[in-house]
Structures are given as C-alpha cells and as structure tokens.
Amino acid sequence: MVEGSYAHPALPRPPAAHDARARRADRRPASVTDGDTIEIGRTKIRLHGIDVPEGEQVCQNAAGEDYPCGRGAALALSDRIDSAPISCAPRDTDRYGRIVAVCRKGSEDLNAWMVSQGHAVAFRRYAEDYVAQEAEAKAAKRGIWASTFQEPSAWRREKRAGGEDTRPASASPDAAANCKVKGNIGGKGTKIYHMPGTRDYERTRINEAKGERWFCSPVDAEKDGWRPAEG
C-alpha cells in the first residue's frame, strides 16, 4: 500500500471531473490492480502509454516453459512502488471510466520503468512516449523480451474471439500496432481519416468509445466510410 496523490500539469488542464476525482484520491492508500492499473481509494488509474500482459496471460521462457508473465508484471510494479508515495498526472479517461495518467515514484516515471524493464510494451496505438524504453528493453532482452510472448492487445482480441491457444510461435509485433491510419469522427459526425505525416495527424487522438478507430490502410478506411482529411 502506498500514499497516493496527483500532480496536475498546468497545460493542458485536465477536465474538472479529473480534478474532483483527484481530490478524493489525494493522500489515500494506493494498490496495484494489475501491471498497468493502480487504484487510489475507489479511483482506478490506467498507466498512460504502456500495455502489460494480462493477469491470466502466460509467456514462454528460453527453455520453452510457461510462466505467468502477467502476474509477474503486476508484482514487479507493486514491488517497485513498495511503500513510497506516488503522484499521477492525468492525461485522459478511457472507455472504462479510468483516469489515464503518468504516475511517478519521486521523480521516476513508473510507466517508463515498466517498459524499460521489459514488464510492458509501448502502447503505440495510443501514444509513442515509451518507444525508446521498449527498444532498450528489447535490445537487452529484459523481462518478456527474453521470452516468447504475444502482444497483450493481440492476446485480448484472441481471448474475446474464443481462441484457446494464447501463445504465439514467436514474439512478433502486434499487427494492430502497425495500423497507423487514424479514423477520427468530427463534431457533426463526419468520418475523416488522417495519414502519418499529414497536417493534423500528430494532434489527432482516437477515442474508441465514440466509434473512432485505427486502420491499416486508407483503402480499409474508405471501405468503412471514412474520407481523407484535407491537407
């Protein structure tokens, strides 16, 4: 258990709902729910920009033996926090109502630490903040990078589809991570897609709760009714 609080960035200022929830969570005990989620009071906080093997997910070590990499990631985060106070700076709210935040132990970015130690991967679908830490962990074969594993997002999709074998033949990038076309829905319901390198690509954020989505090609986007952005 840890003492938890939020540190709010001056710009951009989070919505008022974030502020209210932050005040309720201030100076209350925090616990690790899983490798990318903590809880302060009744407030669940999803760690921004990272994805972690699920609690039921298994990986295979160099000897080909299964081990619970999802539970291992949660334990690693819990051990890292230990009894230290943490602070979380909200970035967004996800579809489940959780605050999405960068959380720190002192000056240490815990999100970055999880990726750099090989307990998590950079969640490129939503952010590229921790791509460098992932490359470092992969090169050093830390954590899951010393194993054969399935990207957490691919594991979840397979699980939802009723697949039984959740282990890949080899560690390979998640196909969705390579789908870079952003399908955005405007205020009037206009469906517009943005290609990498175009004017508004970097500032466009995907909110799947609104029906926005990622596409692997402009052809896929246009088949589903999106049109290209101007500029």
Tell me: pLDDT of 110 over 90. yes
SS3 115: helix
Residue type, 144: I
Q: Does residue 166 register a pLDDT over 70?
A: no
User: Which amino acid type is present at position 149?
Assistant: F
Q: Is the pLDDT of residue 226 over 90?
A: no
State the Cα–Cα distance between residues 132 and 108, nearest whole angstrom.
16
Architecture of domain 2-173: Beta Barrel (2.40)
Side by side, which strands form the sheet with 227-228?
213-215, 181-185, 191-194, 227-228
Q: Give pLDDT, residue 27.
A: 39
pLDDT tens for each residue of 57-66: 999 988 889 9
**pTM strictly above 0.75:** no
Tokens for 183, please give them. Answer: 């399908």
Enumerate the CATH 2.40.50.90 domain ranges in the chain, comma separated.
2-173
Range list of H helices, the chain: 16-25, 69-81, 110-116, 131-140, 152-160, 218-223
